[in-house]
């Protein structure tokens, strides 16, 4: 096939994978729920190669699915039905181009993993604050394209807040160099914002300049047991008031989710049983500060008042990492134990207890055989509401009810002023939510941008925007 020969000419013989067995991992999403064939997976090594591939595909009318670490949870980085598409995986484009310790910036190529960027920052005694369980595989291009959140949004903001500059390949194959590192630049529209959270539908990100922060000089981590989500919220608001931005992590994990996380963490062991858990971290820049003592004092007060039922303060970095690992293992545990109908809602903080109560009532009334897991980024109002099949059954057993479950959960969040997709994006799986909850004006604006930047609908078809006929 002429297209494949031309792709090999651009990226090299070994960089164009065509055999079904070689393509399979690129065509299947992390949750193993979506699989559609691509003509090939191509792995370019430079921005120039990406640009040449885009020009070639534009000329041939072949669609492009940009892909990073393929850890997305909404099937945005794998092909949708429709054929005539290639997967463009960025993992070989992974150089750290520069680190500026004075300006506190790092410039990394799109395929650098989140972990690699965090490590490069740490070697310079800096912090890149986006962090979550899949950071060993998720890539810079992927986290920017999904505007990923994670566990420290509370203090530092989501990925959007970290991006100072971008380099991207446009639908006509031109390279847009917007790799500025300035914190202030009011010279017209802030074009990089178009590509952040666009899920690969408007251009292919090839590099980014990201904001760094001083690495904390001391940190303390604790696990607290609470009666329910209302107590967890009260604990958060109290600590936030007392510690301000030094409270760098505050995760809610209900009992069933935490047990799943512990069971799927090597050496995982819960220090105490509780109906629900809050994972906390305090950070300090001042070398003289003692966050462990502060946490001990403040959590001691909550024990006395009965707000918390039990508290353990990690006595070592290893113990702290163990607590975080159990929280991070929850999605993997769900996947290994039959999967879940997953949701990623956000609601105003004050509405959290009532939203969780409404979801518990919904499951009890309409889906009583299912098991509910609730965990998430408490301080962001972002909860993962995961509804698992009855014990011993796989997700397939919920096939006929899945769409109704999701519509119910998402409607509950939106009715409370919330979002049906807080940090994972839309991909393919959240398209019904776009149809149900986005206004015609929202969708028209998004379609106008798509038409202006990608008139041939070359990039990532079948993602993010529902077909017009279906609204
Ligand atoms: C265990 C686990 C935990 C997770 N925890 C969190 C969490 O706490 N917070 C959170 O926000 N997410 C979380 N996620 C979701 C996921 O890791 C993020 O969405 C991540 O940002 C995806 O990065 P990726 O490189 O794997 O992108 P992919 O999955 O490959 O792609 C995601 C989207 O970005 C597009 N894309 C990828 N690279 C580019 C590029 N270079 N240019 C243009 N478009 C591109 C794709 O087309 C797709 O639409 C988690 C996932 C897992 C598996």
On whether both 227 and 322 belong to a single domain, the answer is yes
Residue 456: the pLDDT is 96
CATH number at residue 19: 3.30.43.10
The Å distance, Cα 311 to ligand 1 centre, comes to 33
For residue 106, how far is its CA from the centre of ligand 1 (angstroms)? 20
> Among residues 89, 105, 138, which one ends one of the domains?
89
Q: What distance in Å separates the CA atoms of residue 125 and residue 10, rounded to the nearest whole number?
A: 39
* Helices 229-243 and 291-305, packing angle to 10 deg: 140
Same domain, 178 and 262: no
pLDDT at position 467 is 85
Confidence class for position 237, pLDDT limits 50, 70, 90? very high
- Segment 344-368 mean pLDDT: 97
CA atoms within 13 A on the CB side of 300: 6
CA distance 111 to 95: 8
Distance CA 457, CA 64 (A): 9
Same domain, 291 and 226: yes
The closest residue, in CA terms, to atom 50 on ligand 1 is 134
CA angle centred on 81, ends 77 and 86, rounded to 5°? 55
CATH code, domain carrying 355:
3.30.70.2740
68 & 169 share domain: no
Q: What is the CATH number of the domain that holds 305?
A: 3.30.70.2190
- 190 pLDDT band, cuts 50/70/90, is very high
Q: Is the pTM of this model over 0.85?
A: yes
**314 and 405 share one domain:** no
Total domains in the fold of the chain: 5
pLDDT at 3 over 50: yes
Cα 146 to ligand 1 centre (Å): 6
Same domain, residue pair 462 and 397: no
312 with 258, same domain: the answer is yes
- From the alpha carbon of 133, which atom of ligand 1 is closest? 3
309 shares a domain with 251: yes
As a whole number, the mean pLDDT across the chain is: 96
Residue ranges of alpha helices (H) inside 128-243 are 140-145, 153-156, 192-195, 229-243
Mean pLDDT of 299-313: 98
Same domain, 135 and 202: yes
Mutation choice for ligand 1 from 91, 146, 375, CB with most ligand atoms inside 8 A? 146
**Per-residue pLDDT tens for 99-114?**
999 999 999 999 999 9
Asked if 224 and 207 sit in the same domain, the reply is no
Quickly state the pLDDT bin for 206 (edges 50, 70, 90).
very high
Q: Quick one: 344 and 262 in the same domain?
A: no
Nearest to 330 by CA among 394, 262, 251: 262
> Tell me: the pLDDT tens digits for 258-292?
999 999 999 999 999 999 999 999 999 988 889 99
Domain identity same for 111 and 208: yes
Q: State the CATH number of the domain containing residue 205.
A: 3.30.465.10
- Closest atom of ligand 1 to 139 CA is 25
Q: Which of 187, 214, 241 is the last residue of a domain?
A: 214
Q: How confident is the model at residue 469 (pLDDT cuts 50, 70, 90)?
A: low
Q: Ligand 1, atom 37: nearest CA belongs to which residue? A: 142
Domain housing 37: 2-89
- pLDDT at res. 1: 80
Give the domain-ending residue among 331, 348, 378: 331
Band the pLDDT of 470: cuts 50, 70, 90.
very low
Long-range contacts of 374-377 (CB under 8 A, 24+ apart): 374/229, 374/252, 374/254, 374/257, 375/251, 375/252, 375/253, 375/254, 375/257, 375/258, 375/327, 375/330, 376/251, 376/252, 377/149, 377/150, 377/151, 377/153, 377/154, 377/250, 377/251, 377/252, 377/423
pLDDT of residue 288: 87
């Amino acid at each position: 096939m002429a297209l494949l020969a031309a792709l090999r000419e651009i990226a090299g013989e070994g960089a164009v994978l065509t055999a079904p067995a070689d393509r399979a991992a690129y065509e299947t999403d992390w949750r193993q729920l979506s699989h559609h064939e691509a003509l090939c997976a191509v792995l370019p090594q430079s921005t120039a190669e990406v640009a040449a591939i885009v020009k070639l595909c534009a000329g041939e009318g072949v669609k492009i699915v940009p892909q990073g670490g393929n850890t997305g949870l909404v099937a945005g980085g794998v092909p949708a039905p429709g054929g005539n598409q290639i997967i463009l995986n960025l993992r070989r484009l992974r150089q750290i181009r520069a680190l500026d310790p004075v300006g506190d910036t790092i410039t990394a190529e799109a395929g650098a993993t989140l972990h690699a960027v965090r490590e490069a920052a740490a070697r310079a005694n800096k912090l890149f604050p986006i962090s979550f369980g899949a950071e060993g595989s998720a890539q810079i291009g992927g986290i920017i394209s999904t505007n990923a959140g994670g566990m420290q949004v509370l203090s530092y903001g989501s990925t959007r807040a970290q991006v100072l500059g971008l380099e991207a390949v446009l639908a006509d194959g031109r390279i847009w160099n917007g790799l500025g590192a300035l914190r202030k630049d009011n010279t017209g529209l802030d074009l990089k914002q178009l590509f952040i959270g666009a899920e690969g539908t408007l251009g292919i990100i090839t590099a980014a300049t990201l904001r760094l922060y001083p690495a904390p000089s001391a940190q303390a981590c604790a696990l607290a047991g609470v009666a329910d989500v209302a107590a967890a919220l009260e604990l958060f608001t109290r600590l936030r008031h007392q510690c301000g931005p030094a409270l760098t992590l505050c995760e809610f994990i209900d009992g069933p989710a935490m047990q799943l996380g512990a069971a799927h963490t090597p050496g995982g062991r819960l220090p105490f049983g509780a109906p629900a858990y809050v994972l906390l971290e305090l950070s300090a820049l001042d070398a003289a500060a003692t966050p462990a003592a502060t946490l001990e004092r403040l959590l001691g007060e909550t024990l006395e008042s009965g707000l918390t039922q039990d508290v353990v303060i990690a006595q070592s970095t290893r113990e702290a990492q163990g607590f975080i690992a159990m929280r991070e293992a929850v999605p993997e545990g769900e996947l290994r134990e039959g999967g879940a109908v997953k949701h990623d809602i956000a609601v105003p903080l004050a509405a959290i207890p009532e939203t969780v109560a409404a979801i518990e009532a919904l499951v009890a009334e309409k889906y009583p055989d299912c098991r509910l897991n609730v965990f998430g980024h408490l301080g962001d109002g972002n909860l993962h509401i995961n509804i698992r099949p009855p014990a011993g059954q796989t997700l397939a057993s919920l096939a006929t009810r899945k769409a109704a479950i999701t519509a119910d959960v998402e409607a509950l969040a939106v009715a409370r002023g919330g979002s049906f997709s807080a940090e994972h994006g839309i991909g393919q799986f959240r398209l019904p939510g776009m149809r149900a909850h986005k206004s015609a004006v929202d969708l028209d604006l998004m379609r106008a941008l798509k038409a202006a930047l990608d008139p041939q609908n070359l990039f990532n078809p079948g993602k993010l925007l529902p077909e017009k006929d279906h609204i």
